[in-house]
Amino acid sequence: MNIEKIYQFLDNKEPNNTNRDLLISYLKECSQSVPKDIENRKSLVYNIAGLLSTKYAMSLDENDPIDKILTLAGELETNDKDEDDGWVNLIKMINSL
């Protein structure tokens, strides 16, 4: 599913398990194809971090693993360095869902 459809789905629905399953599926798909170059990595985390603005993400508790993943993506997006540790951590967090 493309990112625009995910935004629409997560922003137009009341929080439910379908939203969670869709988001987990999208995140796992992203974790399987992390780009090697920094510009494409920034684009990927930009899309992931942007999901924080959806109604579904705003309904998450700060201790929810998905909230932590979206927040880390935001940190990676704003970081000027391409830190492999952050990427490794992000992928581990996604794969543990």
Boundaries of every domain in the chain: 3-95
- Three-state DSSP at 15 gives coil
pLDDT in tens, 10-44: 988 677 778 899 999 999 998 888 777 777 888 88
* Whether pTM exceeds 0.95: no
From CA 10, how far away is CA 8, in angstroms rounded? 6
| 54: nearest Cα among 91, 95, 89, 3 | 3
From CA 96, how far away is CA 26, in angstroms rounded? 14
Residue 84 pLDDT > 90, yes or no? no
Q: How confident is the model at residue 56 (pLDDT cuts 50, 70, 90)?
A: very high
Where is pLDDT greater, at 78 or 65? 65
Determine the pLDDT at residue 77.
87
Q: What is the enclosing helix (H) or strand (E) of 82?
A: none
From CA 12, how far away is CA 73, in angstroms rounded? 22
